[in-house]
C-alpha cells in the first residue's frame, strides 16, 4: 500500500538533514506505528507522502503509484490539530470536505451519513463542531479523513490531549477501521497506544530509521526476560545494589531516575530480593518487557558513539 525507498530531505540554509535514506513499507490492512521524538522526521515523512514536499532523493509510492497530485485521493489525513469549522455542524463540515474531493450530491449525502455512523456521531449530525467534546471533535476530524474513502489513512498523534475515556474511544475506532480493511499509518508519543494497536513499528531518530518490525521482533533489543526496578534507601546502598547486580550478571539501566536491572530469567519477588540480602532495598517491582523498554534501548544504543 505504501512503499518508501531511500527517502532523503534537507531544509534551510544550513542544509539540515530531516530524513536520511528512509525506507519502509506498509502492507494493506495493517496498522503501522511510526515512533520518534519531536524533530525525528515524522511530519516530514507525512508531508512527503501527501506530496506537500518534494524529496531530495528517493521515492514514495502509494498503491503502486508515485506520490503526486493523482495520489492525494488515495490518502486521508487526520492531523494533530483538528481542522474543523467551529460554527458548521458535523454534517456540514463533512459535506464541505466532500465537495473539495469532487463528490457529487448523492455520494456526499451517503458518505456523510456513513462516516458519521462510523465514528459514532450519527446523533450529532446537526450539532455545531464547537459544541462537541474534545474526543468527539477528534472523531469528527477522523471522519473528515475518511470522507473520500482513501486507501491509506494517516493519523498524526490521534489521542494527544484527550482524557482516558476519549482515548479508548479513538482506539476502538482505529481497530474498527482496520477491521473494515483500512491501512493506517499512526504517529504517536504514547508507547502504550502503539503497543496496543500496531502490528509493526518503526523507530525514527534524526531522520534515520533505527529499527523496524513487530513487537516480538523488536523484543531482541532487550536481552532480558524481566526487568526489576528497585528503590534504594541511600547512595551507598545504591552502589552496593549495583555491584551485587553486576556480580549476578544483570545489566544496569536507568529509566529516568529509576534504577533497573535486566534479569536473564524471570523470578518471583521473593527470589529476587533474596539475592540482595544485606542490602537495604526500600522497594522493588518486577515488570515484563514493554515497548517503552525496547524503545529506550534502541534510542540509547543509537546515541552510543562507535569506537
Domain CATH number, residue 278 = 3.30.70.920
**Domain count for the chain:** 2
Residue where one domain finishes, among candidates 216, 236, 267: 216
Q: What is the pLDDT of residue 307?
A: 47
Are 75 and 202 contained in the same domain? yes
pLDDT of residue 15: 81
Which grid cell is 291?
Answer: 515497548
In a domain, 293, yes or no: no
Q: Residue 302 has what pLDDT? A: 82
Whether 148 and 250 map to the same domain: the answer is: no
Q: Are residues 169 and 232 in the same domain?
A: no
The answer to whether the CB of 98 falls within 8 A of the CB of 91 is no
* Range(s) of the domain holding residue 242: 223-288
Domain for residue 40, yes or no? yes
From first to last of its 307 residues, what are the pLDDT tens digits of the chain? 999 999 999 998 778 999 999 999 999 999 999 999 999 999 999 999 999 999 999 999 999 999 999 999 999 999 999 999 999 999 999 999 999 999 999 999 999 999 999 999 999 999 999 999 999 999 999 999 999 999 999 999 999 889 999 999 999 999 999 999 999 999 999 999 999 999 999 999 999 999 999 999 999 999 999 999 999 988 889 999 999 999 999 999 999 999 999 999 999 999 999 999 999 899 999 999 999 999 999 999 887 554 4
* CB half-sphere exposure, 149, CA atoms < 13 A: 9
**What is the DSSP secondary-structure string of 184-242?**
EEEE-S-HHHHHHH-SEEEEEETTEEEEEE-HHHHGGGS--SEEEEEEESSHHHHHHHH
Q: Which residue has the cell 494493506?
A: 28
Helix, strand, coil shares of the chain, percent, nearest 5, are 40, 30, 35
- Residue environment code for 55-94, b if the CB has 16+ CB neighbours within 10 A, otherwise e: beebebbbeeeebeeebbebbbbbbeebebeeeebbbebb
Give buried/exposed letters for 13-29 (b at 16+ CB in 10 A, else e): eeeebbbbebebebeee
Cell numbers linked to 43: 511530519
Same domain, 208 and 271: no
- Quickly count: other Cβ atoms within 10 Å of residue 164's Cβ: 8
Task: Let me know: does 264 contact 188? Beta carbons within 8 Å.
Answer: no
In a domain, 115, yes or no: yes
Which residues 6+ apart lie within 8 Å of 117 measured at CB? Answer: none
Q: Is the pTM of this model over 0.75?
A: yes
Cβ–Cβ under 8 Å, residues 233 and 241:
no
DSSP 89: B
Neighbour tally for 298: CB within 10 Å? 18
Amino acid at each position: 500500500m505504501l512503499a518508501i525507498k531511500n527517502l532523503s530531505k534537507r531544509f534551510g540554509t544550513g542544509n539540515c538533514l530531516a530524513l536520511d535514506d528512509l525506507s519502509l513499507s506498509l502492507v494493506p490492512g495493517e496498522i503501522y506505528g511510526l515512533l520518534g521524538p519531536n524533530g525525528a522526521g515524522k511530519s516530514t515523512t507525512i508531508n512527503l507522502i501527501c506530496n506537500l514536499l518534494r524529496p531530495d532523493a528517493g521515492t514514495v509510492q502509494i498503491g503502486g503509484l508515485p506520490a503526486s497530485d493523482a495520489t492525494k485521493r488515495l490518502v486521508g489525513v487526520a492531523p494533530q490539530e483538528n481542522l474543523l469549522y467551529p460554527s458548521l455542524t458535523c454534517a456540514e463540515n463533512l459535506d464541505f470536505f466532500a465537495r473539495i474531493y469532487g463528490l457529487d450530491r448523492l455520494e456526499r449525502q451517503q458518505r456523510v451519513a456513513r462516516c458519521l455512523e462510523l465514528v459514532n456521531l450519527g446523533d450529532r449530525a446537526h450539532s455545531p463542531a464547537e459544541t462537541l467534546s474534545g474526543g468527539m471533535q477528534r472523531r469528527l476530524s477522523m471522519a473528515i479523513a475518511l470522507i473520500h474513502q482513501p486507501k491509506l489513512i494517516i493519523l498524526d498523534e490521534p489521542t494527544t490531549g484527550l482524557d482516558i475515556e476519549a482515548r479508548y474511544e479513538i482506539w476502538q475506532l482505529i481497530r474498527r477501521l482496520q477491521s473494515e480493511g483500512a491501512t493506517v499509518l499512526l504517529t504517536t508519543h504514547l508507547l502504550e497506544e502503539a503497543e496496543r494497536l500496531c502490528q509493526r513499528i518503526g523507530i525514527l531518530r534524526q531522520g534515520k530509521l533505527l529499527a523496524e518490525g513487530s513487537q516480538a521482533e523488536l523484543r531482541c533489543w532487550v536481552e532480558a526476560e524481566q526487568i526489576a526496578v528497585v528503590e534504594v534507601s541511600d547512595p551507598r546502598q545504591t552502589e552496593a545494589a549495583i555491584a551485587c547486580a553486576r556480580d549476578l550478571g544483570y545489566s544496569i539501566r536507568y529509566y529516568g531516575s529509576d534504577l533497573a536491572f535486566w534479569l536473564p530469567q524471570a523470578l518471583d519477588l521473593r527470589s529476587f530480593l533474596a539475592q540482595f540480602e544485606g542490602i537495604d532495598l526500600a522497594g522493588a517491582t518486577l515488570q515484563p518487557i514493554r515497548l517503552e523498554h525496547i524503545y529506550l534501548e534502541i534510542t540509547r544504543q543509537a546515541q552510543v558513539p562507535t569506537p
